[in-house]
Chain A
């Protein structure tokens, strides 16, 4: 049997995208009479809308309609929210604007140019209100964003696991750290593209959009559009030009465009601009975190107390409060911490609403946690690596249930961390640092490790609810996580796999082909994989999509199951034809043959032909006609939240050990990354090439987040970083070149393939490693990101910023 699992198969997607033949949303053919839409957005962060006058715009030749919030209200309800708060979230402002960039009116015109020209002909009279722009401002409550709530603090709960009070009262010492994770994004090159067409005769709405999932939000959108799910058809294109989470909340504006199509009754198309993408799509939630550790002198961690306040922007829209709950099961990271107290709050501010951004909660967790761990090592006078090793969960404890309910599905954390030390040559790095110190140069080493969730359990959001509510009959528990794949064998033995994931460049076509080809004994080139989603015919469900690193934990196993059904059926048929017992048959090179006598064989193509041309023969063999497999997969550990708030928030947990060696220029504060290494336990690696591409991208996004990137608002709440010239994405000139990586494979035992998603791992714990290295080099601490050269220079010379 040729096994392509673990082999470096070049990505099938690359040739078409690299030669400009990708099939993106903007390339889709437009229906006849398509009109074009532009959105007029609020220029105020917080204001009442007194009057909207579109009369001048409507006189512009080519303008068909100008739609406002009052019109949208006729066909839409507010989106259901995961947090039980009386906030009405529409995709357009109704009588008040709550962030700069919030849609206020939608222009429909014959061409996109006219639509843009019409924007400035719409007069809006605002009554400005005081904008709330920071967590500190929000807590003052002197300007209320949602009157229905009456406070900008919209959610607060305390979680207690084990006996944290005892841990802290009996501790030899405690350390604490305060950290502010900034507002940031991971920009995708392709902006939002939405087309919508409404058929009044059937009340069917078709929406084409480069949406990445989760399709739970499609459900929410259909609900808001007051339509049954089979009356809204959502179609994603074959190729999506990057997602990184930014294309999750796309669904909210896609529903707006859908509502517009329903109102104007012509097909409409909308393409977002780059500046809109920065200003009004989404961002990561910023967090104010205070983490406190209770320690014993011998280096044991007794307990963790965390106080976190998350800022979700103007509306706490789903999948928020995921920033907090996605990392709930792994809140203690890779450490054996039994006693945990978490005091968690959510505030709203007059900024763009947050949503998942690559890492989704990972940076918000591991920056304060790993900083506290590093401080603890220092306080105990221990090497930061040694201290971590002492507190790591051991392989013989796996599967390990964390205090907060996570079930770590196997992993060898100590071996992986040791591997990272080997990659950077830790002893040598310590010597380099000492030598530099003697020469008056600033060299530092940083380490940060993390357990990284993949494959989100939709049920984790239930942990936000009051446990009393969860006892009531109104409560409908959730544990959605599964995926469905279909393997179809065509008459000449070609294999087509339907694996609806809406990927954004991750290489799913290649990986699915590797798996199915290995199982069916055909070449991967013979397997066509369809990953786009059409809700009218594909087996989608609530968790469908590509987000939360879920593909390699999830869809790969669904495809495995589907292919195994086909394989088993082929073996049974071949057994009858060849007169060989099934257990002696093997599939390879397009043949089914007797392991003991390879001359006894029948071609895969022959059996495919039989199934299509002579299904009667299959029935004679006691088989159902057809050669098709439907695989569904749900992790056995992904369950609903327990009565005491424990929840296994994800299916698999990868482990990432990161080390950085940096040199800081004392005169300018410039940072040079001398080396960055990452050892990762992501279970079984299906395609090492794709694994490496992920590592390289995450290390460079780590660099970006740590040193370069923050979404900056001015005092009026207008975004300053509206383009790539102000929101810095490091280019090849700034990239980390000196890097190394290794994969330590401890396959998950809960799935047939044993792979784990790790596509956000290094970006979650890596920034802490880089930050710790810089702090180590200059012997100063930072309580926020990004650390720019000026901030570093000020810290070195102890010059306060004005």
Chain B
């Protein structure tokens, strides 16, 4: 749907029909009906920029903002549940997130700037599948699941299955994210570290790293989950690094050794913002920094 470069200096979107809906059922029905010519708007923080420059020109804009009951953060049955229309600011202000999933708090807090966070929604952000987004690697390490609604019903996918590539999600035309589910067992008792590498704090990351790690009483690694966003074409867990650390005590030597080959299985991206060589280096450097940071937070290093 991305158009030619020609009109990227406009201020106003091309004409479109505006369809506010009262329910997700109504939204997915309309999506099914209009197909590719429709776009869904939640916070609009990325979509409207593209529309104003006429880089995308949907004929129909389905507005989810009038739907009640999709903006929530709550803990039910040891799961952290976040409604798709929850803004980043609401995520940051949630006590449950701060207490039970501080890595998500960190990632949300360092997303864009306060004006954007006040409008941008978690659901919209995930659907956009921006490669440098803050949240996806966090969802990967916290074993999150995504509830997706379509005209034919609901399904639940693992977070890693949602992302196919830069700005490509697994959502089909008539699907909308309804909820994000994070099992608390995946976060509680874990130490964490989170880094976003960006020229300016408010930008998308050149690299986004998320780490959850759990230590035994004798300081051995009981469980570890490491993921990077924007290292490869989609957010990726670094299983090779994780496997090398299990059951070991973190020493400087071990951290050095493991991080120096952290990138070995990765098909690293190259973009205008950073070459593959530099990104590869950043993966190594930040694997080390994430591990040391989390270990220090846990008091084991």
Q: Is the CB of B285 within 8 A of A275?
A: no
Known: A720-B272, A790-B275, A793-B278. A279 touches B200 (CB 8 A): no
Q: Which residues of B contact A725 (CB under 8 A)?
A: 203
Name the contact of B53 in the complex, choosing from A41, A275, A788 (C-beta under 8 A): A275
Q: Chain B's nearest CB lies how many Å from the CB of A256?
A: 16
Q: Chain B's nearest CB lies how many Å from the CB of A211?
A: 21
Identify which of A372-380, A447-455, A730-738 touches chain B: A730-738
| Contact indicator per residue, chain B 270-288, by CB within 8 Å of chain A (1) or not (0) | 0010110110011001000
Q: Is the CB of B8 within 8 A of A275?
A: yes
Q: Chain B's nearest CB lies how many Å from the CB of A91?
A: 17
Q: How far is the CA of A112 from the CA of B12 in the complex (A)?
A: 9
Is B11's beta carbon under 8 Å from chain A?
A: yes
Q: Is the CB of A113 within 8 A of B202?
A: no
For B204, the closest partner residue in chain A by CB is A725
Q: Is the CB of B202 within 8 A of A731?
A: yes
Identify which of A115-123, A165-173, A653-661 touches chain B: A115-123
Q: How far is the CA of A668 from the CA of B281 in the complex (A)?
A: 8
Q: Chain B's nearest CB lies how many Å from the CB of A270?
A: 11
Tell me what chain A mostly uses at the interface: helix, strand, loop, or mixed.
loop
Q: Is the CB of A117 within 8 A of B15?
A: yes
Q: Is the CB of B277 within 8 A of A718?
A: no
Q: How far is the CA of A723 from the CA of B41 in the complex (A)?
A: 23
Is A667's beta carbon under 8 Å from chain B?
A: yes
Q: How far is the CA of A168 from the CA of B249 in the complex (A)?
A: 66
Q: Is the CB of B7 within 8 A of A120?
A: yes
Q: Is the CB of A273 within 8 A of B277?
A: no
Q: Which of B8, B54, B201 has most A Cβ within 10 Å?
A: B8
Q: Which residues of A contact B54 (CB under 8 A)?
A: 120
Is A201's beta carbon under 8 Å from chain B?
A: no
Q: Is the CB of A731 within 8 A of B200?
A: yes
Within 8 A of A (CB), among B1-18: 5-12, 14-15
Q: Which residues of B contact A712 (CB under 8 A)?
A: 272
Q: How far is the CA of A720 from the CA of B272 in the complex (A)?
A: 10
Q: Is the CB of A733 within 8 A of B200?
A: yes
Q: Is the CB of B8 within 8 A of A722?
A: yes
How many residues on chain A are close to B (CB under 8 Å)? 37
Q: How far is the CA of A730 from the CA of B200 in the complex (A)?
A: 7
Q: Which residues of B contact A134 (CB under 8 A)?
A: none
Is B298's beta carbon under 8 Å from chain A?
A: no
Name the contact of A275 in the complex, choosing from B9, B12, B199 (C-beta under 8 A): B9
Is A219's beta carbon under 8 Å from chain B?
A: no
Q: How far is the CA of A712 from the CA of B271 in the complex (A)?
A: 14
Is B19's beta carbon under 8 Å from chain A?
A: no
Q: Chain A's nearest CB lies how many Å from the CB of B252?
A: 15
Is B48's beta carbon under 8 Å from chain A?
A: no
Q: Is the CB of A733 within 8 A of B9?
A: no
Is A276's beta carbon under 8 Å from chain B?
A: yes
Is A802's beta carbon under 8 Å from chain B?
A: yes
Q: Which residues of A contact B281 (CB under 8 A)?
A: 667-668, 793
Interface size, B (range)? 20 to 34
Q: How far is the CA of A49 from the CA of B113 in the complex (A)?
A: 43
Q: How far is the CA of A142 from the CA of B194 in the complex (A)?
A: 52
Q: Which residues of B contact A101 (CB under 8 A)?
A: 9
Q: How far is the CA of A668 from the CA of B7 in the complex (A)?
A: 37
Q: Is the CB of B285 within 8 A of A273?
A: no
Q: How far is the CA of A768 from the CA of B199 in the complex (A)?
A: 21
Q: Chain B's nearest CB lies how many Å from the CB of A106?
A: 14
Within 8 A of B (CB), among A95-118: 101, 112-113, 116-117
Name the contact of B7 in the complex, choosing from A119, A280, A788, A802 (C-beta under 8 A): A119
Is B197's beta carbon under 8 Å from chain A?
A: yes
Q: Chain B's nearest CB lies how many Å from the CB of A361?
A: 27
Q: Chain A's nearest CB lies how many Å from the CB of B133?
A: 14
Q: Which residues of A contact B197 (CB under 8 A)?
A: 668
Q: Is the CB of A733 within 8 A of B201?
A: yes
Q: Is the CB of A728 within 8 A of B9?
A: no
Q: Which residues of B contact A789 (CB under 8 A)?
A: 199, 278
For A714, the closest partner residue in chain B by CB is B272
Q: Chain B's nearest CB lies how many Å from the CB of A97?
A: 13
Q: Which residues of A contact B5 (CB under 8 A)?
A: 43, 718
Q: How far is the CA of A276 from the CA of B52 in the complex (A)?
A: 13
Q: Which residues of B contact A734 (CB under 8 A)?
A: 200-201
Q: Which residues of A contact B203 (CB under 8 A)?
A: 725
Within 8 A of B (CB), among A281-306: none
For A716, the closest partner residue in chain B by CB is B5
Q: Is the CB of B12 within 8 A of A113?
A: yes
Is A782's beta carbon under 8 Å from chain B?
A: no
Is A476's beta carbon under 8 Å from chain B?
A: no
Q: How far is the CA of A488 from the CA of B218 in the complex (A)?
A: 85
Q: Chain A's nearest CB lies how many Å from the CB of B234?
A: 21
Q: Is the CB of B274 within 8 A of A790?
A: yes
| Contact indicator per residue, chain A 55-77, by CB within 8 Å of chain B (1) or not (0) | 00000000000000000000000
Within 8 A of B (CB), among A505-538: none
Q: Is the CB of A790 within 8 A of B278?
A: yes
Q: Is the CB of B9 within 8 A of A276?
A: yes
Q: Chain A's nearest CB lies how many Å from the CB of B35?
A: 23
Q: How far is the CA of A120 from the CA of B15 in the complex (A)?
A: 12
Name the contact of A667 in the complex, choosing from B6, B7, B113, B285 (C-beta under 8 A): B285
The 4 closest A-B pairs by CB, nearest first: A733-B201, A275-B9, A790-B278, A667-B285
In the assembled complex, 23 residue pairs joining A and B whose CB atoms fall closer than 8 Å, in A order, are A112-B11, A116-B7, A116-B11, A119-B7, A120-B7, A120-B14, A120-B54, A275-B8, A279-B9, A667-B285, A668-B197, A668-B281, A668-B285, A712-B272, A718-B5, A722-B9, A725-B203, A728-B199, A731-B201, A731-B202, A733-B202, A790-B275, A790-B278
7 more contacts with CB within 8 A, not counting A271-B11, A718-B5, A731-B200, are: A273-B10, A275-B53, A668-B281, A722-B8, A733-B201, A734-B201, A794-B278
